[in-house]
Amino acid sequence: MPTSVPTLWLTGLSLEWTLEGSRVEAGALHRRVPHAEGARLSVTALGRDVGIIVLPTLESLRRIFDLFFERHFVVDFCSFEYLPTWESHYSEKPFLVASIIVLCAQYLTPEESWRAFGLKTGHDVRSHYLPVAESMARDTLTTPTVANIQGNLVLALSEILADAGSSHWLYAGTAIRMAQIMRLNKEYHQKHTTKEQEMRRRTFWACLLMDRCLAYLLSKPRTLALTNVQVALPSTNLSVAYQEQTRGINLDNLARFDGFPSEVSLSSYFIKTVCLWSDMADNNICHKRFTDTRSPLDPRSHLARCSRAVQDWSFSLPSHLEWSNENYSTHSSLGQSRTFVSLHLLLRSALCIAHQCYLPQLDGCSLLLDCLDAAGLSLLHREPSLISICISNAMALGEIVTTVWKSADSGGRLDLETIWLAGTCLPAANVFLWLQYATDEDCSREDVRETAKHYFHTIKSIFSTLCGQWQVAHGWLATLRTMEATYRAAYLGEIPPDSEIEELSPSSLSSHNGEGSLNGFKPRPGDGCPPVTERSNLYDVLRMITTESTLEELQSVWMYLAGGWSEDLQHSLFSCL
């Protein structure tokens, strides 16, 4: 069997490329893959010239491009290319195209893979082109261009979905640094055409979206500060086609725009929502309950200020952007349903992702330890207003997810397949489990508990379905199972059998996650992550499970506690008292 060899677009040029440690079968690609005139590469492997390698024709690539534009282009990358001219200029952006192939090959059927690339499966296509994209990422490291920024962003998302170590963090960081050195966050690009200026703006916003997404998924601080952003939000596609100048709508004045709704792109509303959601998520990621000395009810507290901003933004949305089945149907007919759904999942998640920190855990061990936060509030303290906001928004999110998931015939399931799914659904899943097991005095009605149970299992089903195409979904599914096992151990004293605990660990998941999850750096307890036994309360354990998904051992201290005390564990828990 031939192994992967790097390939490259270089119109009218030939280039020698050395790939150490690879074995190739000369001419194998020539026999199977449709060739493109002038797009060729001379490859040398193990000191042996294996001939000219050429890329598939546009006709063969068109399926990959269609998948990219359908699944990722708008929601994940802010439509950072001008589609009417894409096919006439794509060959000028080899790194971006190689990254798109790596990202979207996983969606190809075996028939499509063989017909377009001469390879048996989409996984084979990805494995073949991944070294190409990685090599080009290294070669363009010191060459900041819009196309290289885009290539790094697409490659970063590909590595996220493949659960491939920490390379996604590096590729995204390279894209962000390139955008900063080119000052894409400013309106300093008047020498370029109006279309080029708009694509530069969209590329910057794509960097910001990736930054906010990774900050939550990897439990990292955000890189791009909004105080340094002075660039307009994306214009509508019609404005770009007409080469109109930007209207100057930005994050600060979007809510006050009084023109026709059609004059503002849906992406602008989506970006604003992502920024507000990220501010709320920062409360959880940065553990602000234990750093902010103000009560969450104090209007000056970080939580109160962020909550007010989200609520004001939600109330300011025009009627056609409010959630309803009619509006969902309208945006579906316009090809904007994925953005519309993601926007509303983020809005609901924003008002439960931080508020969940104030759900009182009343299991026996939490009652025994009774810790205080930075504001002097007990973790057992019950604040009805915070609980109400958290639960109502989590339940609203669950209803949206269930509604969209059921509309499979109209493409609803595809509308949920975005990278934002985990960031919005995992926090809500914790709330659903709390409603099932904590038996709060005002939330213990049987119908509420059954609805929460139904929403939790719907999210679980979605993640399970995604496991067929995204390796990272295995980790999301393991997080849900671990959260549920932790609640059952803490409140019911149920210890999962050893075989089930083994299935929950990432080391077990990696055995069927594919090669990507076995490569690259991942933090482990004591080597970049805190030991599990340092989590001294259920609140902290649950926060750790949802934000530290790369832990080697996911079984929590509560599973051990439910099975009886051990001297070492008891000393670890009470050493701080």
User: Is residue 103 included in any domain, yes or no?
Assistant: yes
User: Is residue 300 included in any domain, yes or no?
Assistant: no
Closest CA to 246 of 255, 257, 272: 257
User: Is residue 492 included in any domain, yes or no?
Assistant: yes
Per-residue DSSP letter, 155: H
List pLDDT tens digits, range 129-166: 999 999 999 999 999 999 999 999 999 999 999 988 78
List pLDDT tens digits, range 423-457: 999 999 999 999 999 888 778 789 999 999 999 99
Q: Could you say which of 223, 253, 276 is where a domain stops?
A: 223
Q: Could you say which of 190, 223, 256 is where a domain stops?
A: 223
Full residue range of the structural domain in which residue 116 is found: 56-223
List pLDDT tens digits, range 226-272: 999 999 999 999 999 998 988 889 999 999 998 888 899 999 999 99
Strands 48-54 and 40-45: antiparallel
Stated as kind and residue range, the H or E segment containing 278 is helix 266-285
Q: How far is CA 473 from CA 260, 435, 463, 509, in A?
A: 40, 24, 6, 10
User: Is residue 512 included in any domain, yes or no?
Assistant: yes
Report d(CA 386, CA 404) in Å as an integer. Answer: 27
Report d(CA 441, CA 465) in Å as an integer. Answer: 35
User: Is residue 133 included in any domain, yes or no?
Assistant: yes
Question: Across the chain, what does the average pLDDT equal?
Answer: 81
User: Is residue 170 included in any domain, yes or no?
Assistant: yes
User: Is residue 142 included in any domain, yes or no?
Assistant: yes
Residue 272 CB-half CA count within 13 A? 26
Residue 53 DSSP SS3: strand
Per-residue DSSP letter, 527: B
Average confidence (pLDDT) over 64-69: 96
Q: Could you say which of 173, 194, 223 is where a domain stops?
A: 223
What's the count of helices (H) and strands (E) in the chain, helices before strands? 25, 5
> Are the beta carbons of 10 and 41 closer than 8 angstroms?
yes
pLDDT at 252: 94
Beta-bridge mates of residue 18 = 44
Beta-bridge mates of residue 372 = 378
- Residues near 542 by beta carbon (within 8 Å), at least 6 away in sequence: 361, 430, 483, 486
pLDDT at 186: 95
pLDDT at 475: 87
pLDDT at 55: 63
pLDDT at 288 over 50: yes
- Residues near 1 by beta carbon (within 8 Å), at least 6 away in sequence: 25
> Are the beta carbons of 482 and 556 closer than 8 angstroms?
yes
Could you give the residue ranges of the DSSP H alpha helices within 467-505? Answer: 472-487, 498-504
User: Is residue 242 included in any domain, yes or no?
Assistant: no
The count of structural domains within the chain is: 2
